[in-house]
Each structure stands twice: as C-alpha cells, then as structure tokens.
Amino acid sequence: VTIRDALLRARRRPRHFGAGSPTVYRGDGYEFVELRAYVPGDDVRRIDWASTARSGELQTRVVLEDVTLTLAAILDASPSMGVGRKRPLVTAAREALADWFGAATAEDRCIHIAGGSITAAALQRGSRRAVALRDDAGAFDLNKTLRTAYAALPRGTALLAISDWYDLDAGVDRELAGLGARFDCTALIARDPWYEQLPLAGIVRLRGAEGGTLRGYIGARERAAYLAAVRAREASLLRRFEAANWRTGLLREEDGGASLAAAFGLRS
C-alpha cells in the first residue's frame, strides 16, 4: 500500500476519471487484474471472448480503474523551520515532500505552491529530483499560500501542507474548512524539537530563527511551563485541522518520509 493508494482509498476520493494511472479500484482502465464469471450489468465490452469460448461460460476481464491524481504541496521553508535538535526540520520536510511527489505516477500532476506562484513540479517517476524545487527566496507567507492554493488548485486535488504553523492566524479556520471541503488535504505539523524536554537550564540566551533574542533564567518552573505550552499548542493545532476535515500528521525531525507515511496510517 502506497501513499497513492491511501489517497485513492480515502473517503475523500477525488471524482476524477479518465485515462491515467491504474488505481486500486476496479473499473474502467487498462491494467488487467483477473477474469471472472460475467455478472449481469458488466460492460459487455469487457467480456473476454477467448476465455468464454474456452470455458463455455461468459467471462469478464476485470481491469483497474485509471485515475490521474493532482498532487499539490505547500512547503514552509521559512527560517523557523531551520531549527532542530540534530538537523533542521526543513530537511525532514523535504524528505516528506520527496515521498509525496514520489508517490505520483506517470499521469499524475505535481504542483508546488509557494506564495503567489504555482510551479508545476517536473516529475520523473521514482525520482526524488522531483522535489528539488526552488524555494521562493522571499518570505514565506503561509496564509497567502493557502489562499492561493484554494483559488488555483482543481477540485479534488490532494494537498499536502508542511509547516510549523506558527503563522496560522486564528481567523483562518474558515479557509481551512473550505480547503478541507474542496481538496483532499493533509497537514504535517512540525513537532517542536524540544517537545520531549527543554534541554536548557540557568541563564540562557536564545536567538529567534526569524529575529529577536531572549535572555532569561530557565529553571524547573520554566521548563514545566514550556512543555505544557508546547503540548497545548500541538493539540490545539491538531484539533483545528481535524475540525476543518484535514488529514493530520506530525513531522518528526528524524525522518520526514516516515512522518508522511504515518499521517496516512502507513508503515514506511
């Protein structure tokens, strides 16, 4: 089972037919699956006359449905994603993105959305080069990108958005719900690198990835408060996305691919 299969099997399966890649669904396509006895209602064009002659009973050729998926992705590559314990979160995010676009088969379309621009990601099946996307040099504006996606993507698109979601405005929930209704949306929430524990004590100086510094004393009280706040924030984000009918997952710093797979309930 692949991510593509999972997308197809999802309840939010896009109503998008036509020549494309065979799906896991039996339907109208080219990829042969099996022969079985004719059931009334089967398309007569699918009757395999040769095997019917051999067996003396009507045999139907079952083929897989051909579906073209549109895989779109939003990658937050802003400096806030550049932090991490051992490696930057954005590296894991790129892994996840590679797997995402790597799930596309020949006829699927891949779209990378960054800010106001939409880039058709050049795709080569099985190649991770697909994600060697040029990140927009400018500041990443999450809310603007979401609006762009809503306006520009075709209905039924599978949309993956990877971010730490710090910039998600409180009033954007309606737009999220709109996206959730229109597309098969998946949100990967970058997990705070210090989610397990805050490895700081005493007087520390912090540098904000997106500016600002902080100098203060971190004690047991501060560590506890921090953990509670981090957990609360993550839970709140999960709740918001689920309320907006999004598939959610956590982007872990160690392995982006596994994180994406976990979001789809798969083992990588």
Partner 1 sequence: VTIDHPLRLGLGVVALIIFALLYAMLARRATTHDLAYSNIAFFRDAAKPRTWIPRTLQGLWLVAFAALILGVGGPHLQLMLPAHDGSVFICIDTSGSMAATDVFPTRAEASKAAARAFISESPSGTKIGIISFAGAAGVVVPLSADHQAVLSGLDEIPPPNGATAIGDALALAVRMLPRKGHRVIVLITDGVNNTGADPMEVAQRLGNQHIPVYTVGIGTENGGLIPGTNEEATIDEGRVARVRTGQQRRLRASRECDAASRRALDSRTNDLAPTQTRRCIAAVRNCGRLGNGLRVPGRVGIGTLSVSDDPIARLTEWIEEAGGATRIDAIAMCLATVGANDRPAARMVLLRGLDRRGLQFFTSYESRKGRELAENPFAAALLYWPWLERQVRIEGVISMLPESESDEYFDSRPRGHQLAAWASEQSAPVESHAVLEERFAHFEQRFEGEAVPRPHSWGGYLLAPSYFEFWQGRPNRMHERLEYKRSGSDWEIIRLQP
Residues of the shown chain interacting with partner 1 in the complex, contacts defined by CB under 8 A? 80-83, 89, 164, 166, 192, 198, 200, 203-219, 222-223, 225-226, 228-230, 233
Q: Which two tokens stand for residue 268?
A: 């990588």
Burial tier of 4 (Cβ tally within 10 Å: 0-12, 13-18, 19+): buried
Report the alpha-carbon distance of residue 140 to residue 143 in Å, rounded: 9
Tokens of 93: 């995010």
CB of 63 to partner 1, least distance (A): 49
Q: Nearest Cα to 172, choosing from 199, 149, 206? A: 149
- What are the phi and psi torsion angles at 126 (to 5°)? 75, 0
Indicate the residue among 37 and 204 with the shorter CB distance to partner 1: 204
CB of 218 to partner 1, least distance (A): 5
- Burial of 63 from C-beta contacts in 10 A (0-12 / 13-18 / 19+): middle
Rounded to whole angstroms, the Cα distance separating 29 from 13 reads 17
Q: Which is nearer to partner 1, 99 or 253 (CB)?
A: 253
Could you tell me the smallest distance in angstroms from the CB atom of residue 145 to partner 1? 18
Least gap, CB of 180 to partner 1 (angstroms): 25
Q: Which is nearer to partner 1, 118 or 230 (CB)?
A: 230
Smallest separation, CB 231 to partner 1 (Å): 10
Closest C-alpha among 101, 51, 49 to residue 74: 101
> Please, which residue, 5 or 167, has the CB nearer to partner 1?
167
By C-beta, is 41 or 202 nearer to partner 1? 202
C-alpha–C-alpha distance, residues 97 and 120, integer Å: 14
Q: Which is nearer to partner 1, 46 or 85 (CB)?
A: 85
Smallest distance, partner 1 to C-beta of residue 24, A = 38
Supply the minimum distance, in Å, between the C-beta of residue 73 and partner 1: 20
Asked whether 95 and 86 are in contact (CB, 8 A), the reply is no
Q: What order do you get walking across the sheet with 184-190 strand by strand?
A: 117-120, 109-114, 70-75, 158-163, 184-190, 247-251
Nearer to partner 1, 108 or 164 (CB): 164
Specify the amino acid at residue 181. Answer: A
